[in-house]
Amino acid sequence: MIYAASPDRKDIISQIVRLEAEAFGDGGLNAWNLMPLIRHGRVFCLEEDGRVIGCIQYMLDWHDHAKAYAVGISIASDQRGKGRGTELFGATMDILSAEGISSVELTVDAANAAAVAVYQRKLGFVTTGQRLDEYGEGVHRIVMEKILCLDEE
């Protein structure tokens, strides 16, 4: 089941924080920065048998309110390689599109060839640029974007 996280669901916060730590180590979200994203952005969970096995967070681009930025996606280690991340990403982009979001942007480590391939081949993202030293010296990111819908004019 995929659903938008609610600040009332305190029971899932620790599960999301664990997923984030598993996926990103110290760079993962903690409860302090997760709650504002739940309240003011969009945080979607993929839950199976009462367990959160995936999470993706979005925030709006301040300069382009029709664009969402994918802050991060994390999938439980025992669920990786099963298409669960692709399922979660695809379903949530459909939800965002229905809410009037026209594009999604993300950044990814160039060395993470598997993720880059999934974003390009399975989800339709295209590379639009690079951000040098994004998370510190020598920590470069590829910028990718997916057009969800075109404005009807």
What would the pLDDT profile of 13-37 be if each residue is shown by its tens digit? 988 999 988 888 888 888 888 999 9
79, 54 Cβ separation under 8 angstroms: yes
Burial 42-69 (b: 16+ CB within 10 A, else e): bbbbbbeeeebbbbbbbebeeeeeebbb
CATH topology of domain 2-147: Aminopeptidase (3.40.630)
Write down the pLDDT at residue 150: 58
Write down the pLDDT at residue 29: 84
Query: If you count them, how many residues does the chain have?
Result: 153
Average pLDDT of the segment spanning 49-65: 92
The per-residue pLDDT of the chain, averaged, comes to: 89
Q: Whole-angstrom distance between the N-terminal and C-terminal Cα of the chain? A: 35
16, 30 Cβ separation under 8 angstroms: no
Is the pLDDT confidence value at 153 over 50? no
3-state secondary structure of 73: strand
pLDDT in tens, 116-137: 999 999 999 999 999 877 787 8
Distances from the Cα of 121 to the Cα of 16, 94, 127, 146, angstroms: 27, 17, 12, 12
The pTM of this model reads 0.87
In terms of pLDDT, which residue wins out, 152 or 96? Answer: 96
Q: DSSP string of 85-109? A: HHHHHHHHHHHHHHTT--EEEEEE-
Is the pLDDT confidence value at 47 over 50? yes
